[in-house]
Amino acid sequence: MRHQRVINHLGRTSSHRKSMISNMAVSLIMHKRITTTTAKAKVLKTFVEPLITKSKEDSTHSRRVVFSYLKDKTAVSELFREISPRIADRPGGYTRILKTGNRIGDNAEMCILELVDFNEAMKGGDSAKPKAARRRRTGKKTTDEAAATAKSAAPKTAKGKKTTAKAEDTTGNKSTEDSNPETGEKE
């Protein structure tokens, strides 16, 4: 019987399990959100929440205690500099598990584990609103205007021969002479 055997061994040896959970905690602290199986997320939640509580008191001793669990300097500094000020007034419950369905390969139940105060969409703040769609203004005309402009500006052709614009003489009368642009001869 396994009465009072609470720890989930996750099918790993003790050393493998400790290093895996430590690495996942570092990833959670650095990226604020990770995708994993629900069983690992529940174990990670019990591992990382006491560390976040410990980070509320910024002292050398608490930094060393947290470092003994995480074994990553950048994660410890991130935890104490950025995460602990944002969760200072929260009494607990620093993480959230969002179930996402089952994995295709082995049908394992998957979830997203995230830090609560770092998800702007769930908080409902100003940044939760979707940004307005930005469109580039290139100065191009609409298709109707472009088609009308192209028709009026295109030179008229008659059976492969290009015609020149009719020149106006000084009296205002238009001349009717057409010339072939290839040879320069008048027709």
Question: Tens digit of pLDDT for each residue in 46-75?
Answer: 999 999 999 999 999 999 999 999 999 999
Is 119 exposed, middle or buried (CB count within 10 Å of its CB: 0-12, 13-18, 19+)? Answer: middle
Lowest mean pLDDT across 23-37, 136-150, 160-174: 160-174
Better pLDDT: 40 or 137: 40
Contact 98, 121 (CB under 8 A): no
* Residue among 16, 113, 25 nearest 75 (CA): 25
Q: Write the CA distances from 78 to 46, 55, 110, 140, 158, integer angstroms.
A: 20, 10, 26, 48, 76
pLDDT at 167 over 80: no
Question: How would residue 121 be classed by pLDDT, with cut points 50, 70 and 90?
Answer: confident
Q: In 38-184, which ranges are E strands? A: 95-102, 109-115, 157-158, 161-162
Rounded Cα distance, 67 and 72, in Å:
7
Query: What's residue 184's pLDDT?
Result: 61
C-beta separation of 62 from 50 below 8 A: no
CATH topology of domain 14-126: 50s Ribosomal Protein L17; Chain: A, (3.90.1030)
What is this structure's pTM? 0.65
Bridge partners (DSSP) listed for residue 122: none
The domain spans of the chain are: 14-126, 153-187
